[in-house]
Amino acid sequence: MLKGATIVVTGGAGFIGSHLCQRLLEEEAIVICLDNLSTGSLANIAHFANHPNFHFVEGDICQFSTCLKTFKGADYVLHQAALGSVPRSIEDPHTTNQVNVSGFLNVLEAARQVGVKRLVYASSSSVYGDLEESPKVESRTGNLLSPYAVSKYTNELYASVYQRLHQLPCIGLRYFNVFGKRQNPYGEYAAVVPRFINLLKEGKRPVIFGDGNQARDFTHVENAVQANIKALLAPYQATGKCYNIACGSSTSVNELFYAIRQAVALYDPRAIEIEPIYAAPRPGDIRFSLADITLAKKFLNYQPTHCLQRGLAETVPWFFHQEQK
């Protein structure tokens, strides 16, 4: 059903966005990738950059005129552009708000003005805040713990208002700790999975903040891609809602470390001797995060295909193969 459809992917040169662009091209859609390359990379889209149905626009969602021009003629928008990282949002809340809130409002308003049929956007499990209840269900959230969480929750409120006021169908996807190939392992704001893989590959000891018993619902990027595609195709009654996108299983950071260490040791046996370093917990971090994915299964027909082990088996080799290129 997406064949011939024009779909804008904001943040399309980023980690999740580039995977979405690739899948949409496989579905024979016309893909417009909008990215300012602040966290995205041309390397992420290099292998399909010359595809006849692919068009790259270097631009910023913080510029409304850019959104308006890029969205003109589009059938759908998949909104992935954002500044991630809880710690970064605590250190620089103004920039997080500018990109994640004002930028998102630009995306919504441009989509409304040009008549986009549906907007699917990336939200986050961070909206559950300090809610101790497990698993997390979409109807209940706790006190928010970071400006990043505030920005994502604000996105959900704005999307709800735009659907009610302007009949712009919106679906929010609350990602839970997405990982996979093309994820940047460098910098102080790098996600835990690529950071652990890269450090172990280099023979270094990763840092675990806290006691390592904090748990996450680690979700391979292929599950996130599936959710976006199915959100585009879901019946209208599925719109106006947010959905947990995860595996529905919980893994502690300690367990994650040892699983990654074992996977890396297949390529470098010396990794099996490396132990982590423990440091003080970081402010704003959620202690336990496990998703109830019942609603996504019911309304989107979402069925995760990649558990943590399968996801790591597909992710770890990529980090070693990149070195050889």
Answer whether residue 80 is part of any domain. Answer: yes
Catalytic: 148?
yes
List the chain pLDDT tens, one digit each, 325 residues: 899 999 999 999 999 999 999 999 999 999 999 999 999 999 999 999 999 999 999 999 999 999 999 999 999 999 999 998 888 999 999 999 999 999 999 999 999 999 999 999 999 999 999 998 989 999 999 999 999 999 999 999 999 999 999 999 999 999 999 999 999 988 776 789 999 999 999 999 999 999 999 999 999 999 999 999 999 999 999 999 999 999 999 999 999 999 999 999 999 999 999 999 999 998 877 788 899 999 999 999 999 999 999 999 999 999 998 754 4
In a domain, 227, yes or no: yes
Tell whether 284 is covered by a domain.
Answer: no
Pairing of strands 251-252, 215-216: antiparallel
Domain hosting 159: range is 6-176+220-247+291-305
- What's the rounded Cα separation, in Å, for the pair 197 and 320? 10
Q: What is the CATH number of the domain that holds 146?
A: 3.40.50.720
- The catalytic position among 148, 153, 175, 302 is 148
Residue 319 lies in a domain: no
Nearest Cα residue to 123 out of 146, 88, 163, 150: 150
Displacement of CA 33 from its chain's centroid (Å): 16
Decide: helix, strand or coil at residue 179.
Answer: strand
Q: From CA 137, how far away is CA 114, in angstroms rounded?
A: 34
The answer to whether residue 259 is domain-embedded is no
Distances (CA, A) of 47 to 18, 19, 22, 25, 259: 10, 11, 9, 12, 30
Q: How many domains in the chain?
A: 1
Tokens 């409002």: give the residue.
Answer: 105
Q: Does residue 316 belong to any structural domain of this protein?
A: no
Q: Model pTM?
A: 0.94
What tokens does 306 get?
């990649």
